[in-house]
Amino acid sequence: MSDEKRMLSEKERVEIEKAWERMANKFWKKLEYWKRYNPKKYRKFWRDYRKLEKAFGF
């Protein structure tokens, strides 16, 4: 995993977009799962999210 800043090639860009899509699907399923079966975790996720936005003064 390289941390050097560089321009991504078109091929890399396409691969990255596909990776985001796969992760987003998993992420959404996880959120839905928490909402249904682990509401405590689901509420904590949003509480932490809002807390960060608030800490920035937004």
Q: Which residues of the chain form contacts with other proteins (CB under 8 A)?
A: 1-8, 12, 15-16, 19-28, 30, 49, 52-53, 55-58
> What distance in Å separates the CA atoms of residue 7 and residue 22, rounded to the nearest whole number?
23
Find the shortest distance in angstroms from Cβ 2 to other proteins: 7
Find the shortest distance in angstroms from Cβ 20 to other proteins: 5
From first CA to last CA, the distance across the chain in angstroms is: 34
Phi, psi values for residue 27, rounded to 5°: -60, -45
Find the shortest distance in angstroms from Cβ 36 to other proteins: 16
